[in-house]
């Protein structure tokens, strides 16, 4: 299935090194905080959890956050609990400057965050190693989520144009505890989680996190989600300078996916010029033929007898650490992951002008079945040393990374006939098998009777890549007040890809091969007028090599796009410049930060109308960000911030319109998935030692999904979702030392808003008011 290199277990010998405690080294070792490597947190008296973080978990981090010349936000476990964030997508909504994009076929369903306007679907990491698969991630086994904004190729390799997201897993700790939570709420919402940490001896500890989740979606008819997961881990060497941590993760889900809401017009129905188009709302909409469309809030355009989505993730990790000397640590991480995703879901398609012209919708199918395998072997050395009177805090490492994907489609039969293609729906009953339906009153229970089958391996796209990487970081303390941060990374990518064979699947399979050598860097200067504060300037880069997303992310990154010469593709490059200040206030219990930045991408590419990867020139995002995290007093906590991000397509190149390349009319327009303003704030206040109230606010300005052309270059449309405010509230009461209750209201005002905008066709409607009651047991 692949011509790529087979995985090599580099550095495996270090995983079986004797885990024997060395008393001399133990006496010299700096105590770890929270047993998370270099991840250190500060307890709060507000909720008994953590809001403020001192340092990242990565061994590549060479300084505390206040002394790191980059914008870094850490969503702690307590923030996840206070905001009732059960998925990665929900957690990322608490951070300004992040937009959530929608998936389809070329861009698969799953987590698709945009950081500073760049698609970061493949810039997601688990405990510091790449987690490339397209899927929807849970938080039941998550200790924290670290978001680095700005070009971050040096830390993690190809991608990371706007930043990266690192998920920190729960690991065994020294203290014994049991946390059990049960929640029930709107639309039969049910969630149960269990977290057991058990030291087996002074030397060995174990931890198990588990979850069951089942719910409908408030304000949406028929939609449901169900999932369960378990994550056991074992640590040998809890007290010694040498340890080995083994972990396993399993999560599987099934759901009736929400296909979203169609936009109100298509390009061919537009007048000449530039037009902005919103999703179909609940107010009356007049069609071109004089009819009226008026949908309810819960209108569901899918088919319950056809639509489905399932995912399955299994991962195994082994992390070996040893303190070689007082200021020298060696860490080896080995991780294998297998992820499967299968779905067939209805897209409310209007590519034939049905909604605008007739008041109807075509139930076009989007389908995918896929597997993703990955093996990462990463060896890190970190520590401190002096050269004369200058102190160095360094990290260096080697990485081997092997990833493979196989992606197919569902068909009505093995000849490759699609289940449902886009079609004209002059009436709600045009065509067969209920593919055409009313935009106002669709019936999801229509008895669809087609077949859902896999067409076989000939219809699948295969891709794999092997990477060898080397990197080094150094924070140099020139004086007590002046620090220099430097880093560089080299990646060698060997990529193979083979497109699906065309119907009737009799042609010979062909392979594309490409080699890319990438170098990325970062440099920053930090001035500390006080020990608790800093000012900084910095620059950093990233590079996206063609094919390195393995069709698990944006479609313009694939090597198998039609009419594509892989040797002509250029590496997409992004450079970030940033200046800012960070301060730890109120006895260093509250962290505040302010940054101004510019991110510029060159060799930006999209998929053209002909199916080829096309370069559209340059994109620039400038902005200012304000962040806050921690405690104002021992009773009052804050987490959130504000981001202002003016963006522009500097040169959108040429666009193929009616067979002719013309200058793109999107030059000078705002970049997709880059809101001008976003704001988030979550706060809690301890009214009494047992009673706490809290709330949250989220604001997102207008977000453009994308631009497209009609029959001429003079006809351009921009699809968008309107701005919105969302408010949440919660209150908790500690009945005893071991029993607590909590009430939460998400989207308190029942605001109808859209939280994801796709490039064309549809926008995703967010959940309505969701009320939750929770019982927590802690021992």
pLDDT band at 561, cuts 50/70/90?
A: low
| Residue 530 in this model has a pLDDT that exceeds 50 | yes
Q: What is the pLDDT of residues 474-524, one digit of tens each?
A: 999 999 999 999 999 999 999 988 888 877 777 888 888 889 999 999 999
pLDDT for 276 equals 87
pLDDT for 411 equals 82
| Residue 272 in this model has a pLDDT that exceeds 80 | no
Mean pLDDT computed over 709-732 = 85
| Residue 443 in this model has a pLDDT that exceeds 60 | yes
Which range (18-32, 489-503, 763-777) has the least confidence?
18-32
Q: What is the pLDDT of residues 317-371, one digit of tens each?
A: 999 999 999 999 999 999 999 999 999 999 888 778 889 889 999 998 888 899 9
pLDDT for 567 equals 55
Of 559, 553, 456, the closest CA to residue 510 belongs to 559
Is the previous residue joined to 483 through a cis bond, with omega within 30 degrees of 0? no
Could you tell me which residue, 724 or 157, shows the higher pLDDT? Answer: 724
Mean pLDDT computed over 278-290 = 90
| Residue 183 in this model has a pLDDT that exceeds 50 | yes
Do residues 77 and 143 make contact, with C-beta atoms less than 8 angstroms apart?
Answer: yes
pLDDT band at 718, cuts 50/70/90?
A: confident
pLDDT for 288 equals 85
Question: In the chain, what are the helix, strand and coil shares in percent, each to the nearest 5?
Answer: 5, 55, 40
According to DSSP, the residues that pair with 163 across neighbouring strands are 149
Mean pLDDT computed over 691-720 = 85
**Domain edges within the chain:** 72-778
Question: For residue 327, which phi and psi values (nearest 5 degrees)?
Answer: -120, 35
Q: How far apart, in Å, are the Cα atoms of 118 and each of 45, 163, 172, 700?
A: 37, 8, 35, 17
User: What are the helix (H) ranges across 29-152?
Assistant: 77-82, 88-92
| Residue 35 in this model has a pLDDT that exceeds 60 | no
Cα of first residue to Cα of last residue in the chain, in angstroms, is 50
pLDDT for 512 equals 84
568 three-class SS: helix
Average pLDDT of every residue of the chain: 86
Which range (32-36, 300-304, 732-736) has the least confidence?
32-36
pLDDT band at 653, cuts 50/70/90?
A: low
Mean pLDDT computed over 266-272 = 61
pLDDT for 34 equals 35
Mean pLDDT computed over 1-15 = 37
pLDDT for 513 equals 87
pLDDT for 23 equals 34
pLDDT for 49 equals 53
How many C-alpha atoms does 7 have within 13 Å on its Cβ side? 18
pLDDT band at 10, cuts 50/70/90?
A: very low
pLDDT for 233 equals 98
Question: For residue 541, which phi and psi values (nearest 5 degrees)?
Answer: -135, 165
Is the previous residue joined to 504 through a cis bond, with omega within 30 degrees of 0? yes
CB atoms within 10 A of CB 398: 16
Mean pLDDT computed over 622-648 = 95
Q: What is the CA radius of gyration of the chain?
A: 26
Mean pLDDT computed over 98-117 = 84
Mean pLDDT computed over 60-68 = 92
| 8-state DSSP, 502 | P
Which range (120-124, 238-242, 270-274, 285-289) has the least confidence?
270-274
Do residues 363 and 433 make contact, with C-beta atoms less than 8 angstroms apart?
Answer: no
| Residue 754 in this model has a pLDDT that exceeds 90 | yes
Mean pLDDT computed over 304-319 = 95
Q: What is the pLDDT of residues 185-231, one digit of tens each?
A: 999 999 999 999 999 999 999 999 999 999 999 999 999 999 999 99
| Residue 563 in this model has a pLDDT that exceeds 60 | no
Which range (161-175, 272-286, 435-449, 569-583) has the least confidence?
272-286
459 three-class SS: helix
| Residue 583 in this model has a pLDDT that exceeds 70 | yes
CA gap 458, 505 in Å, rounded:
6
Which of 11-20, 170-179, 264-273, 343-352 shows the highest mean pLDDT?
170-179
Mean pLDDT computed over 87-94 = 95
| Residue 6 in this model has a pLDDT that exceeds 50 | no
Q: C-alpha 752: how far from its chain's center?
A: 24
pLDDT for 387 equals 92
* Both structure tokens of 653: 């190149």
Residues 399-408 as b or e (16 or more Cβ within 10 Å = b): bbbbbbbbbb
Residues 234-254 as b or e (16 or more Cβ within 10 Å = b): bbbbbebbbbbbbbebebebe
3-state SS, one letter per residue, for 449-502: CCCCEECCHHHCEEEEEEEEEEEEEEEEEEECCEEEEEEEEEEEEEEEEECCCC
Domain at 72-778, CATH class = mainly beta
Give the percent of the chain with pLDDT over 70. 86
Which range (448-452, 543-547, 656-660, 724-728) has the least confidence?
656-660
| Whole-prediction pTM | 0.90
pLDDT band at 92, cuts 50/70/90?
A: very high
pLDDT for 107 equals 73
Q: What is the pLDDT of residues 231-241, one digit of tens each?
A: 999 999 998 89
pLDDT band at 565, cuts 50/70/90?
A: low
């Amino acid at each position: 299935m692949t011509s790529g290199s087979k995985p090599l277990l580099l550095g495996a010998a270090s995983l079986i090194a004797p885990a024997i405690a060395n008393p001399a080294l133990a006496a010299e070792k700096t105590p770890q905080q929270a047993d998370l490597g270099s991840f250190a947190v500060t307890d709060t008296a507000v909720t008994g959890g953590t809001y403020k973080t001192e340092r990242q978990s990565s061994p590549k981090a060479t300084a505390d956050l206040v002394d790191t010349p980059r914008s870094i936000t850490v969503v702690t476990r307590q923030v996840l609990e206070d905001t009732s964030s059960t998925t990665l997508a929900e957690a990322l909504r608490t951070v300004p400057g992040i937009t959530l994009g929608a998936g389809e076929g070329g861009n698969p369903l799953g987590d698709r965050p945009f950081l500073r306007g760049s698609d970061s679907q493949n810039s997601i990491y688990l405990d510091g190693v790449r987690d490339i698969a397209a899927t929807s991630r849970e938080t039941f086994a998550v200790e924290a989520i670290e978001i680095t904004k700005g070009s971050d190729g040096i830390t993690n390799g190809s991608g990371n144009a706007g930043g990266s997201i690192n998920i920190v897993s729960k690991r065994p700790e020294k203290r014994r505890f049991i946390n059990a939570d049960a929640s029930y709420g709107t639309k039969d919402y049910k969630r149960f989680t269990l977290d057991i940490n058990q030291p087996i001896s002074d030397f060995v500890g174990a931890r198990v996190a588990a979850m069951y989740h089942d719910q409908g979606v408030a304000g949406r008819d028929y939609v449901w989600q169900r999932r369960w997961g378990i994550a056991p881990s074992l640590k040998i060497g809890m007290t010694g300078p040498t340890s080995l941590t083994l972990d396993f993760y399993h999560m599987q889900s099934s759901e009736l996916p929400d296909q979203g809401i169609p936009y109100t017009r298509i390009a061919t129905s537009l007048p000449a010029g530039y037009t902005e188009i919103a999703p179909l709302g609940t107010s009356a909409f007049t069609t071109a033929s004089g009819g009226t469309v008026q949908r309810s809030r819960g209108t569901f355009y899918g088919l319950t007898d056809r639509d489905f989505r399932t995912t399955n993730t299994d991962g195994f990790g082994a992390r070996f650490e040893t303190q070689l000397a007082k200021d020298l640590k060696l860490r080896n991480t080995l991780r294998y992951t297998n992820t499967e995703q299968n779905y067939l879901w209805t897209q409310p398609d209007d590519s034939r002008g049905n909604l605008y012209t007739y008041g109807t919708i075509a139930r076009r199918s989007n389908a995918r079945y896929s597997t993703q395998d990955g093996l990462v072997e990463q060896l890190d050395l970190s520590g401190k040393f002096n050269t004369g009177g200058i102190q160095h805090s360094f990290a260096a490492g080697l990485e081997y990374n092997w990833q493979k994907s196989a992606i197919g489609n569902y068909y009505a039969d093995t000849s490759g006939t699609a289940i449902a293609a886009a079609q004209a729906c002059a009436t709600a009953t045009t065509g067969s098998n209920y593919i055409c339906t009313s935009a106002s009153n669709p019936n999801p229970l229509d008895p669809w009777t087609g077949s859902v089958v896999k067409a076989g391996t000939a219809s699948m796209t295969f891709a794999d890549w092997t990477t060898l990487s080397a990197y080094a970081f150094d924070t140099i303390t020139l004086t007590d007040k002046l620090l220099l941060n430097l880093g560089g990374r080299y990646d060698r990518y060997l990529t193979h890809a083979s497109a699906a064979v065309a119907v009737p699947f009799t042609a010979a399979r062909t392979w594309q091969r490409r080699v890319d050598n990438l170098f990325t860097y970062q440099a920053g200067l930090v001035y500390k007028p006080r020990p608790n504060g800093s000012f900084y300037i910095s620059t950093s880069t990233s590079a996206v090599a063609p094919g390195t997303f393995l069709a698990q992310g944006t479609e313009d990154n694939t090597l198998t796009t039609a009419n594509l010469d892989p040797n002509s593709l250029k590496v997409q490059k992004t450079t970030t410049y940033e200046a800012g200040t960070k301060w730890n206030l109120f006895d260093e219990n509250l962290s505040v930060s302010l940054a101004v930045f510019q991110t510029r991408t060159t060799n930006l590419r999209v998929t053209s109308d002909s199916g080829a990867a096309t370069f559209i020139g340059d994109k620039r995002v400038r902005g200012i960000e304000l962040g806050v995290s921690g405690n104002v007093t021992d009773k009052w906590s804050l987490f959130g911030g504000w981001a202002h991000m003016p963006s522009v397509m500097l040169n959108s190149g040429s666009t193929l319109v009616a067979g002719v390349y013309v200058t793109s009319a999107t030059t000078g327009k705002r970049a997709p998935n880059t809101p001008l303003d976003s704001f988030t704030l979550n706060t809690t206040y301890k009214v009494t030692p047992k009673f706490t109230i809290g709330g949250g606010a989220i604001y997102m300005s207008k977000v453009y999904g994308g631009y497209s052309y009609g029959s001429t270059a003079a006809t351009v449309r921009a699809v968008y979702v309107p701005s919105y405010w969302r408010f949440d509230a919660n209150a908790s009461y500690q009945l005893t030392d071991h029993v607590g209750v909590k009430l939460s209201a998400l989207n308190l005002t029942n605001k109808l808003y859209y939280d994801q905008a796709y490039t064309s066709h549809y926008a995703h409607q967010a959940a309505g008011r969701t009320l939750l009651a929770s019982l927590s047991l802690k021992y």
